Amino acid sequence: MRSVSVGLATLGILASGCDSSSQPPPDGGTDAGTGLGVLGRGSHSSAAIEVREVVAESDGLRIPSDLAFHPTEDHQLWVTNEGDDSILVVSGVGSAEQSVARRRSPGADHFLASPTSLAMGETGTFATVQGTDDVTQPSTPADFMGPSLWPADVDAFDGGHGSHLDMLHNSPAATGVAWDHDNAFWVFDGYHNSITFYDFGEDHGPGGEDHSGGTITRYVEGEVSYSSSTNSHIEFDRRTGLLYIADSGNARIAVLDTRSGTSGITIGPNYDGARMSAMEGASLTTLVDGASIGMGEPGGIALHEDVLYVAERLRRVVHAFDLSGTRLDYVDLSDRATEIGGLEVDAEGRVYVTTRSPAGVLRLAPLP
């Protein structure tokens, strides 16, 4: 997900007070006149913002899990369909000219099996991670699953074996991915309860099989917790090297300092002939303890103009925090969906959130 440069006035952030500790009240709250315009200025009610469904189940959504804007194609939104191993590419999202292309082809049941998250790079590629820990190929074990690398071009991307540029392995039950640089990505590895760094290096090209150029480094194993019910998305701040983690199994927002730690032991199994190791002593801290504000399992996460947006799946609340962990605002979307998931922010500061039932993508914006 992109961090786009716009002024705070675009988001409607006011200088007066913020809610930093109270549990979201059932009546929607009473702090009108404070907070962020895109979340209702402290009212905590969806009635105080413009909520529009911009992509619907009728467009081909099947359990949408995450979404990301293309870094160079204006208003082109890519959405992972966890329910049918596909991706929707929505061009001109929200406009009268909106069009939808669904991408799924032979091999999707391995290379795009139950995709839980995607991350766009700025070098013409993107990555997905797959939530399954089942056998997806007769010749490979269940723990073979890992992140896939793809071309970020709707005409070149087919969602299957033919267009995948690379794949590395041994991170099944993965729930989040964030771009670092070139063909390198961070992954929330549910199988190992870790954050794992995957650098594909020079990819093998469309439909290839040589994975030996990759580097796999496992961080903080056992210090984050996988939740089978909530996808733990992650967001990387390239300015600081900090990785923000929706640690759903621990009901918190955690922060990994990716510039900390020292290289440790060799790890395995090594299915790729890649370089594999553990990183020891990396710094993982808690930014937001969910229990302190009544937050359950966080899932989606997006960083925009030093505001961290977090989606709480079952309570259908979108929270906003500053980077010190103070809550700036939140909005209750329980009247619009039964579950929410992935988050994204566009160049105008509007927030997009996936909904599971009914399947959709909602756009949140300040009222005119």
- Residue 330 is assigned to a structural domain of this protein: yes
Q: Is residue 68 part of a domain?
A: yes
Which residues lie below 8 Å from residue 137, measured CB to CB, with a gap of 6+? 110, 144
- Residue 237 is predicted with a pLDDT of 98
Q: Of 54, 34, 53, 32, which Cα lies nearest the Cα of 43?
A: 32
CA 166, CA 161: separation in Å to the nearest integer?
10
In whole angstroms, what is the distance from residue 214 CA to residue 353 CA?
33
Would you state the pLDDT for residue 266? 97
User: Number of folded domains in the chain?
Assistant: 1
Contact, 76 vs 93, CB < 8 A? yes
Task: Give residue 27's pLDDT.
Answer: 33
pLDDT tens-digit profile, the chain (368 residues): 333 333 333 334 332 333 333 344 333 333 334 799 999 999 999 999 999 999 999 999 999 999 999 999 999 999 999 999 999 999 999 999 999 999 999 999 999 999 999 999 999 999 999 999 989 988 889 899 999 999 999 999 999 999 999 999 999 999 999 999 999 999 999 999 999 999 999 888 898 777 788 999 999 999 999 999 999 999 999 999 999 999 999 999 999 999 999 999 999 999 999 999 999 999 999 999 999 999 999 999 999 999 999 999 999 999 999 999 999 999 999 999 999 999 999 999 999 999 998 899 999 999 99
Q: What was the pLDDT predicted at 1?
A: 39
Q: Residue 292 is inside which H or E element, if any? A: helix 290-293
> What is the pairing mode between strands 115-120 and 125-130?
antiparallel
Give the residue numbers spanning the domain of 279. 8-366
Neighbours of 133 (CB within 10 A): 20
- The Cα–Cα gap between 14 and 10 comes to 11
Q: What is the structure's pLDDT at 236? A: 98
Determine what percent of the chain falls in helix, strand and coil, rounding each to the nearest 5.
5, 40, 50
Give the pLDDT score at 10: 36
Query: Strand 283-289 relative to strand 275-280: parallel, antiparallel, unpaired?
Result: unpaired
Q: Residue 270 maps to which CATH number?
A: 2.120.10.30
CA distance 107 to 101: 18
Length of the chain equals: 368
User: Is residue 82 in some structural domain?
Assistant: yes
Calpha distance 23→29 (Å, rounded): 10
Token digits for 9?
A: 């006035």
d(CA 207, CA 49): 45
Residue 1 domain flag: no
**Domain presence at residue 213:** yes
Asked if residue 3 belongs to a domain, the reply is no
2 found inside a domain: no
Residues 219 and 224: their CA atoms lie apart, in Å, by 10
